[in-house]
A and B are shown apart, each in its own frame.
Chain A
Amino acid sequence: QLQLQESGPGLVKPSETLSLTCSVSGGSVSSSGFYGGWIRQPPGKGLEYIGIIYYSGSTFYNPSLRSRVTISVDTSKNQLSLRLKSVTAADTAVYYCAHGNEDVWGSFTVIFDDWGRGTLVTVSS
């Protein structure tokens, strides 16, 4: 079982870039089949998929956020990263990282085995 821990600023100003990292322990982000995802939950609302990155480096973003989001992996630090630019108050949410493995679930089947605790990011001046 992997453990995931999100970290980053809890407050971001409007129009700036939100940057979060997800530290992974108990496994490697570069292991065969690994995929890591970012999901967010605005206050009082449901979960929204942001995007995922596979061990191969392939990324799949939510079309509604694609123009503003970048997900990357740092294999030397065993971390996932999320960058969301030009934020507004609508981007205020708890941000979760999560992972799965396509060697377990099947090609192009995305089920999240483990999640981080989440980190609240507020967009405000």
Chain B
Amino acid sequence: EIVMTQSPATLSVSPGERATLSCRASQSVSSSLAWYQQKPGQSPRLLIYDASTRATGIPSRFTGSGSGTEFTLTISSLQSEDFAVYFCQQYNEWPPLTFGGGTKVEIK
């Protein structure tokens, strides 16, 4: 099973600042990585797939990068609606699909 580790667990950022979230895989997942956003009381929403491709309707301030075992989600200028929990998911080798533990982006 591929273990996905996200860091930090919580990130405190002021509106308008940049946020950088990390996701690490225990072995290479190539570029088979997705990022999801989950706001309180809401369903997770797909943001990024194939490590760097934005899903339909996702603003350009969200950027995914990386391959192999190291991945980054960057939010260039945080808006109020971006404060949420972010999960990564690998789909290179499964079952099982595996998710990271999540990073909570909170208002500083």
Contacts and interface: CB of A to CB of B under 8 A. Distances in A.
Interface in B34-61: 34, 36, 41-46, 49
Contacts of A105: 49
Interface residues of B, number: 23
A46 B95 contact: no
A63 B96 CA distance: 7
B98 A111 contact: no
B46 A49 contact: no
B100 A46 contact: yes
Interface residues of A, number: 26
A110 B101 contact: no
A124 interface: no
Contacts of A98: 44
A95 interface: no
Nearest to B87: A47
A117 B43 contact: yes
Contacts of A39: 99
A48 B99 contact: yes
Nearest to A37: B97
B91 interface: yes
Contacts of B34: 111-112
A115 interface: yes
Given A60-B94, A60-B95, A62-B96, A112 B101 contact: no
Given A46-B101, A116-B43, A111 B96 contact: no
A39 B100 CA distance: 13
B64 interface: no
17 contacts: A47-B102, A49-B97, A61-B95, A96-B43, A96-B44, A98-B44, A105-B49, A109-B32, A110-B91, A110-B97, A111-B34, A111-B49, A111-B89, A114-B43, A116-B43, A117-B41, A117-B42
Interface of B: 1, 32, 34, 36, 41-46, 49, 87, 89, 91, 94-102
